[in-house]
Structure 1
Amino acid sequence: MTKLFTPFSIKGVTLKNRVGMSPMCTYSAYEEDGKVTSWHKVHYGARALGQVALVMLEATAVSTQGRISPQDLGIWSDEQIPGLSELVDVIHANGSIAGIQIGHAGRKADLKEPIIAPSPIPFNDNFQVPQEMTIKQIEETIQRFKDGVQRAKKAGFDIIELHGAHGYLISEFLSPITNKRNDEYGGSKEKRFLFLEKIVKEVKDIWSGPLFIRLSIEEYQDDGNHPEDMLYYVKKLKEQGVDFIDCSSGAITPVPPPTFPGYQVRFSDFIKNNGDIPTSTVGLITSPVQAEEILNNNRADIVFLGRELLRNPNWPIYAAKELKADIQIPHQYQRGWL
């Protein structure tokens, strides 16, 4: 059996293989109410049918102000729970584990309403200048994350991921580039960690299942966070009971990262083997052999695919054929793979 098609278990949840669908915004809540549509059910259901073990929903906003776009999925209202629950049922019915990424866009919210951030620094000239968050707004936002997790739990998700990467609100607090506060939430690494620390504490009070956090391990600017800085945060998160780090990089500023096949694998490798915590990697991973190498060399525990799964929802079946692994193909499709 190839490593890619061995199970992975974490806190009582078992993935049938090591292929995950990376959370990718689809901007398809067309009524701007944050509710699941039939499109989402087909989109995510197709990847479950294609044998992706972990289907991770796109960034789902804890408030209307925390949306990346007006068409984002949301988890700020109990009215959104039934649609999310139906989506979980679709994923489960097709043999996959259902995860959800919960987040807040911070200064990268592309909205008409006022937006908030740790400090009043716009992402670029095309974005609003955000309001610097008051202590009250910080406390309210922490509660919104907790409330969002409670709704995700009611909807039946197996895994919850907090979005702490890519220049959105949590990563804005963690980064010295975007956090210029001089109160208890800014300054030293320890103070910049306080916002996430409090979110995790509140979440852990109500959620006992696997808790993932996505982090940008490298910010690609001299004055930003680098792997050694993020390892500090990872160790603090592990002490709090976080189970898994979803390793990504960049997007705290408009500076583009240098990209090449597997360009982020080194970050997962570093965190996994120095932080003693399970990790995933993502980024221009396209071939089964490439994925197999990452896992066999102990550089990650799960391989997340993004654009490759947009192109080919059945990638795991193709990968199994190439690697000569024996997997279960939906009986309705078996004749196509003989």
Structure 2
Amino acid sequence: MAKIAESFQIKSLQLKNRIVMPPMCQYSVEAKDGIPNDWHLVHYVSRAVGGSGLILIEMTDVEPDGRITDYDLGIWSDDHIPAFRNIIEGIHKYGAKVGIQIAHAGRKAEDAAQPVGPSNIPVTPEWKVPRALTTAEVKEMVKKFQEAARRAVEAGVDTIEIHGAHGYLIHQFHSPMINNRTDEYGKDLSLFGVEVIQAIKQVVPEEMPIIMRVSVREYMDGGYEEDHMIEICRRYLDAGVDMFDVSSGGEGPAGKTKPGNYPGYQVPFARRLKEELQVPVIAVGILDNPHLAESVIGNGDADLVAVGRGMLHDPYWALHAIEQVAGNARNIAPKQYERGF
């Protein structure tokens, strides 16, 4: 039996294998209303047919101006619930579990007339200058994350992933180079993320796990390194996070230190977080090679592996990977496709 084909359980979330389809923006909303359409339905359900254990729906934002572009998904209204429910029910029919990545782009909201953030520091001088949220607006933003999670639960998700990585709003708050506030959210860089986690915990079932996606290190000159983020993650763990989805960067252009661009380059970040915090983690970062993905699980570097671009290339990546590693996937392929395996 391949390690990536083994089941995994955390709280009420029971997965048939260790393979995750990570959140990947499709920029395909047709009416700019944030509501998923037929493209999203086919996109996600096909990966469920293709064998993924967990599918994380792409970055889905808590308000219209919280999107990267106007063509991104949103969940700021109850009007969004039926379309998400339709997709989630389709995924469940084929044995996959599903989560949704709840987020706000902050200063990286490209189509907002004026983006917002913890401060008025733009990504680069060429980007729009964000407006710093007032303390009262930050507290209101926490409620928006909470309401988004409530809607996701009503739509039928099995887990919630909070986006605290890649330079988006929560990441911006815990980054010393981006957050220059003097209020409580500047004195405690983890506070906004902690409050979002605590608020979401109030509206999800007790046994539903909460995943937090984090950038363990930044690459801009002066950006934080691993030790800083590990301490932030300790706070997030205490607030109620059950698993971390471990990535890096995204805060802005890289400086002297450049991110890796080779298979498995982010796996050491996942392993360190797993070891330091004794918490389950998802590893990411060019894990398209099935034997590499297998080794990540087999070596204990991570509990789950997320394969993004590989699944864009091949909707059936999970089945093909298990077939390649184990030598046979016929017993796990959909019965309609067994002849092909």
Residue aligning to 1:310 = 312
AA in 1 matched with 2:280 = P
AA in 2 matched with 1:124 = T
2:56/2:101 contact within 8 Å kept: yes
Please state how far the C-alpha of 1:136 moved relative to its aligned partner.
1.6
Instruction: Find the residue that maps to 1:232 and give its secondary structure.
Output: helix
* In structure 1, distance between residues paired with 2:275 and 2:300: 8
* In structure 2, distance between residues paired with 1:251 and 1:241: 25
* In structure 2, distance between residues paired with 1:225 and 1:155: 37
AA in 2 matched with 1:317 = L
AA in 1 matched with 2:339 = R
Instruction: Find the residue that maps to 1:186 and give its secondary structure.
Output: helix
Q: TM-score, normalised by structure 2?
A: 0.96
Instruction: Find the residue that maps to 2:60 and give its secondary structure.
Output: strand
Please state how far the C-alpha of 1:104 moved relative to its aligned partner.
0.1
AA in 2 matched with 1:49 = V
Stretches of structure 2 that go unaligned for 5 or more consecutive residues are none
How many aligned residue pairs are there? Answer: 334
After superposing the two structures, state which structure 1 stretch, 54-63 or 254-263, moved more.
254-263
**2:231 is aligned with 1:232:** yes
Instruction: Find the residue that maps to 1:185 and give its secondary structure.
Output: helix
Please state how far the C-alpha of 1:213 moved relative to its aligned partner.
0.3
Query: How does 1:1-338 map onto structure 2 within 5 Å?
Result: 1-187=1-187, 191-207=188-204, 208=206, 209-255=208-254, 257-324=259-326, 326=329, 327-337=331-341
AA in 2 matched with 1:279 = V
Instruction: Find the residue that maps to 1:259 and give its secondary structure.
Output: coil
Q: Deviations over 1:277-326 (max 9, x none)?
A: 00011111111110111111111000001100000111111112111255
* In structure 2, distance between residues paired with 1:61 and 1:142: 13
* In structure 1, distance between residues paired with 2:308 and 2:200: 27
* In structure 2, distance between residues paired with 1:112 and 1:271: 34
Q: TM-score, normalised by structure 1?
A: 0.96
2:116/2:130 contact within 8 Å kept: yes
AA in 1 matched with 2:202 = D
Using the aligned pairs only, state the percent identity: 40
AA in 2 matched with 1:194 = L
* In structure 1, distance between residues paired with 2:66 and 2:114: 10
2:219/2:253 contact within 8 Å kept: no
Stretches of structure 1 that go unaligned for 5 or more consecutive residues are none
Please state how far the C-alpha of 1:112 moved relative to its aligned partner.
4.0
* In structure 1, distance between residues paired with 2:89 and 2:57: 13
Instruction: Find the residue that maps to 1:245 and give its secondary structure.
Output: strand
Instruction: Find the residue that maps to 2:306 and give its secondary structure.
Output: strand
AA in 1 matched with 2:232 = Y
Please state how far the C-alpha of 1:183 moved relative to its aligned partner.
1.4
Instruction: Find the residue that maps to 2:190 and give its secondary structure.
Output: helix
2:25/2:72 contact within 8 Å kept: yes
Please state how far the C-alpha of 1:240 moved relative to its aligned partner.
1.8
2:119/2:181 contact within 8 Å kept: yes
Instruction: Find the residue that maps to 1:334 and give its secondary structure.
Output: helix
* In structure 2, distance between residues paired with 1:12 and 1:132: 38
* In structure 2, distance between residues paired with 1:244 and 1:129: 34
Please state how far the C-alpha of 1:258 moved relative to its aligned partner.
2.6
* In structure 2, distance between residues paired with 1:150 and 1:321: 38
AA in 2 matched with 1:288 = P
Instruction: Find the residue that maps to 2:224 and give its secondary structure.
Output: coil
* In structure 1, distance between residues paired with 2:221 and 2:72: 32
Q: Deviations over 1:111-137 (max 9, x none)?
A: 142210001011123321000110121
AA in 2 matched with 1:145 = F
